[in-house]
Amino acid sequence: MTTILDPTDERVPVERQITPRTGKVSGVIGLMDIRKPRGNVLLDELDRLLSARFPDAQVKRYEKPTFTKPCPTDLRQKIASECDFLVEALAD
Amino acid sequence: MTGAMPPFSLSDLAGGDRAFPTGRRALVCFVKEDCHTCNLAAPVLQAFHNQWGDRADIWVVGQSAEGNHILIDRHGLTLPFLDDSSCKTSFAWDFEIVPAAFWTDAEGVAIARTEGFVRQEWQDLADRIAVDLDAPPAQIDWESLPKWQPGCGSKHLDPDINDRLQAEASNSPIRARRIEIGEADDIAEFMFDQGFSDGLPLVPPTPERVLRMLRGTPRGPQDIVAIVPPNMAPATVEKVAINAVMAGCRPEYLPVVIAALEAVCTDEFNMHGVAATTMGASPVLVVNGPIRNRIGMNMRLAALGTDNRANATIGRALRLVVRNVGGAKPGGVDRSTLSTPMKFTMCFAEWEEGSPWDPLHVERGFKREDSVVTAFAMTSGPVQIVDQESREPDQVAGSLGLGLEGVFLSKIHRMPVDALLVVCPEHAKSLLSAGPYSKTRLRDRIQEVTTRPLREMVANGVSGAGIPAASAAKMTAAQLESPAPKFASHDYIHIVVAGSDAGKFSAAFYGWATGAMGSASVSRKIEC
């Protein structure tokens, strides 16, 4: 029998439940540009399509300061408090 | 150790349990068979047992089961022999030399002790026992025994055994989860299966090895070195040591690994972004100062290559901490399109002694006698810069500049992106051949020879990268002719010296997004 020591952080990942799917889209839809080149092109088109299909929904736009770093906590909290849905767009 | 001796329960040769304290006075003597002095003491202990065995427990504790049998047969002994092959009881009783004899009261409190064989001490011990037991003295011809004979080091102090015992002891500094690997399992395969590996085999991080590794630093095992992205997990000195063992480090490398981890886990270095980028970036570590020589780092022939343990394993240990503690793995947070073999390891030392300039760490504000590690986020390299013909200093510097033009894409200029230039000794010598040639002058020359008119950066049929044609159309002719050197400023050009005496081959590492937008190079003093 050989004993070795665990090289990982030993943390158990937090399990999060996926938000219930209602089959309807209403309220506020957030669109976040992570600031990759042409991310705005993709989101502009998405904005147009969503607004046409869900006229009662409101679309809000957000931007990360830079795509190279994680989203700042205050921005994440702002989005969570303002939106019912969020689309985060990668691009290039 | 005096006072109450640690309780134990050991097997005698008949397989019975013998528990201490015994409820009677006891003489417990630790021996090992291959010790001459223990062989001298064995008949004395038998005489003690013959005389006082009815009113006290006279026990021999042997440090190997086989040795116990040999001693008994050799000397015709009948007193109880207990088996401490694991040496756990020897470790707990904390003596150095065998034979080690302890006279205790019925509650196990030590009254007298002796180590080795000083005849007078053993006689005093015998007298004390006789008095305590109110019994006649043992029948021993003391004059036939030597006045003094040194004992042997106890087996529990053998380095390998002692490391194991310390790891298993209740006050062990080890806190990490212990993973038992079954006899039938192949350890190397098991570690691959657990997902601990970067793709290469690992040294099993046994508690003994990790304890030895921890001796490489004065820091406490549970000190937190850094919060490691992307999972923002705390890395204790112990966790760093475990990964350093797996990487193949020696204990004296650990302070470098710790300093490197501190450097990359800063907001400035942005390890999350470095690990995640599709471009595929990796820390490149440059070590400066006295520690380079102390731990045998390579800064000369093949400095950027293989076969030096310190260079190879320090970089690998950092990588393993970032992936195992921080959780940065390809397919997870690491989204590198192609990635880079530098992610396995990339660490080397600067050959300060062969450099005509201040070494990197002095340029960055440290003292020459400080040991320092500097981390750069690099995406490509080492890219060879080959010029075997130039002899004039400005020619050599010109070639070094042209070798840096490939950062990202050669047509893109005014880049706010780091490059790390490793000047080989022959090129350094040529640069100095006509007198001083400062790093500033070298940087000027690099910018000079890479300066192109801005129009060459405009997107065209050859390459769509660069200034969009629509933007270019709005620029004046003078603007399009304005000169654009490769780098946005001197600050992005980092210069060190390394390599063997022979060969006109310098090299460059190309950076990732530099500065607040991406990653800034970070230096940390190595505390050891």
Per-domain boundaries in chain B: 3-157, 187-459+467-525
Question: Which among B271, B322, B517 is the top mutation candidate for probing chain A, defined by the most A β-carbons within 10 Å of its own β-carbon?
Answer: B517
Partner-chain contact B243 A5, CB within 8 Å: no
Query: Which one, of B274, B220, B213, lies nearest residue B246 by Cα?
Result: B213
Task: Report how far residue B399's alpha carbon sits from residue B384's, in angstroms, rounded to the nearest whole number.
Answer: 11
In a domain, A37, yes or no: yes
- Residues of A with Cβ-Cβ distance to B207 under 8 angstroms: 3, 5
> Which residue among B174, B210, B272 sits closest to A69, beta carbon to beta carbon?
B272
- pTM recorded for the entire structure: 0.81
Show Cβ contacts of residue B218 under 8 Å, excluding neighbours closer than 6 positions.
B527, B528
**What average pLDDT does this structure show over A53-63?**
94
In a domain, A59, yes or no: yes
Does residue B145 register a pLDDT over 90? Answer: yes
B392: left (phi over 0), alpha (psi -120 to 50) or beta: beta
Please count the structural domains in chain A. 1
> Which residue among A1, A6, A69 sits closest to B182, beta carbon to beta carbon?
A1
Report the sign of the C-alpha dihedral through residues B241, B247, B252, B253, in that order: negative
pLDDT one-digit tens code per residue, B413-433:
999 999 999 999 999 999 999
Distance from CA of A27 to the nearest CA of B (A): 31
Task: Report how far residue B241's alpha carbon sits from residue B212's, in angstroms, rounded to the nearest whole number.
Answer: 9
Token pair belonging to B62: 């042997």
**What average pLDDT does this structure show over B239-267?**
98
In a domain, A79, yes or no: yes
B3-157 CATH fold:
Glutaredoxin (3.40.30)
Interface confidence, given as ipTM, is 0.80
Show Cβ contacts of residue B410 under 8 Å, excluding neighbours closer than 6 positions.
none
In a domain, A74, yes or no: yes
Question: Is some CB atom of chain B closer than 8 A to the CB atom of A23?
Answer: no
Q: Which domain holds residue A43?
A: 28-89
The DSSP secondary-structure symbol of B301 reads T
> Which residue among B228, B243, B517 sits closest to A66, beta carbon to beta carbon?
B517
Question: Is some CB atom of chain B closer than 8 A to the CB atom of A2?
Answer: yes
Partner-chain contact B191 A4, CB within 8 Å: yes
Whether residue B132 contacts residue B64, with contact meaning beta carbons closer than 8 Å, is answered with: no
Report the pLDDT value the prediction gives residue B1, as an integer from 0 to 100.
Answer: 52
Report the pLDDT value the prediction gives residue B37, as an integer from 0 to 100.
Answer: 97
Question: Which among B193, B196, B471 is the top mutation candidate for probing chain A, defined by the most A β-carbons within 10 Å of its own β-carbon?
Answer: B196
Does residue A14 register a pLDDT over 80? Answer: no
Average model confidence (pLDDT) across chain A: 90
Partner-chain contact A5 B513, CB within 8 Å: no
pLDDT one-digit tens code per residue, B98-123:
999 999 999 999 999 999 999 999 99
Does residue A15 register a pLDDT over 90? Answer: no
Report the sign of the C-alpha dihedral through residues A75, A77, A78, A83, in that order: positive
B interface residues, A as partner, C-beta within 8 Å? 174, 176-183, 187, 191, 196, 204-207, 210, 228-231, 233-235, 238-239, 242-243, 246, 270, 272-273, 277, 320, 324-327, 513, 516-519
Report the pLDDT value the prediction gives residue B526, as an integer from 0 to 100.
Answer: 98
Nearest CA in chain A to B267: A69
Which pLDDT band holds residue B155 (cuts at 50, 70, 90)? very high
The residue among A22 and B524 whose pLDDT is bigger is B524
- Residues of B with Cβ-Cβ distance to A1 under 8 angstroms: 180-183
- Residues of A with Cβ-Cβ distance to B180 under 8 angstroms: 1-3
**What average pLDDT does this structure show over A54-77?**
91
In a domain, A2, yes or no: no
Query: Which one, of B261, B217, B528, B524, lies nearest residue B373 by Cα?
Result: B524
3-state helix, strand, coil in chain B (%, to 5): 35, 25, 40
Residue entry with tokens 């193949």: B248
Peptide bond into B99 cis (omega under 30): yes
Report the range of poorest mean pLDDT among A35-39, A55-59, B61-65, B261-265.
A35-39
- Residues of B with Cβ-Cβ distance to A70 under 8 angstroms: 229-230, 272
Report the pLDDT value the prediction gives residue B355, as an integer from 0 to 100.
Answer: 97
Distance from CA of A89 to the nearest CA of B (A): 15
Partner-chain contact B210 A5, CB within 8 Å: yes
Report the sign of the C-alpha dihedral through residues B512, B514, B519, B522, in that order: positive
Going across the sheet that includes B17-20, the strands are: B3-4, B109-115, B100-104, B26-31, B57-62, B81-83, B8-12, B17-20
Binding-face residues of A in 49-68 toward B, CB within 8 A: 66, 68
Report the pLDDT value the prediction gives residue B2, as an integer from 0 to 100.
Answer: 60
Average model confidence (pLDDT) across chain B: 96
Partner-chain contact A8 B196, CB within 8 Å: yes
Question: Is some CB atom of chain B closer than 8 A to the CB atom of A14?
Answer: no
**What average pLDDT does this structure show over B157-176?**
85
